Amino acid sequence: MITLWFGGIGGAIASETAPDPLTVPDRASEATPNRPTLDTNTIPSAKVSQFVRAYLQVLRQIEGREQELLSAPTSLESQRIEREIESASIKAIAQAGLTKQEYLQMLSLANIDPEFGERIAAAIQEAKNQE
């Protein structure tokens, strides 16, 4: 479940990412089922900034509750924590000005398009440096 919100992005931040990269199927075209509908050449910097804000918030949600999740005494408790993380992540994505689908598509693009992945990784690093 958590891999839905957090996947590896580019080599520049690989040390932060344990889950395998996420690929989101393009429901509009069965011919290319793993290709997102966004085009990396037309994504404006403002959208990238929104994604980075959302990504960092989602990352904080996951990292902040990771130990609690890992030490959950039952699978029911683990599922409850995962739902809470997911809910907080959806809220963070919306607050950043993105839809869940936009976030997932950009995450997927960052994982399958090396140039876009580097663009996102650089933007994440810049955002972290400004914190």
Per-residue pLDDT tens over the stretch 50-94: 999 999 999 999 999 999 999 999 999 999 999 999 999 999 999
**Which range, of 13-17, 71-75, 81-85, 98-102, averages the lowest pLDDT?**
13-17
What was the pLDDT predicted at 6? 55
pLDDT of residue 38: 67
| Listed range (9-13, 74-78, 98-102, 116-120) with the worst mean pLDDT | 9-13
pLDDT at 36: 53
Is the pLDDT at 43 greater than 50? The verdict is yes
Predicted confidence at residue 42, as pLDDT, reads 83
Measured distance CA(118)–CA(9) in Å, rounded: 8
> Which residues, other chains included, contact 112 with Cβ-Cβ below 8 Å and sequence gap of 6+?
21, 23, 34, 35, 36
19 and 62 Cβ atoms separated by less than 8 Å: no
Mean pLDDT, residues 17-25: 35
Instruction: Name the residue with higher pLDDT: 3 or 43.
Output: 43
Nearest CA to 120 out of 92, 128, 99, 101 is that of 128
Q: pLDDT at residue 2 above 80?
A: no
Give the pair of three-digit tokens for residue 41.
């050449």
User: Hey, what are 78's tokens?
Assistant: 């683990």
Confirm if 82 and 1 have CB atoms less than 8 A apart: yes
**Do 3 and 108 meet the contact criterion of CB atoms below 8 Å apart?**
no
pLDDT at 126 exceeding the cut of 60 = yes
The two tokens of residue 62 are 């996951």
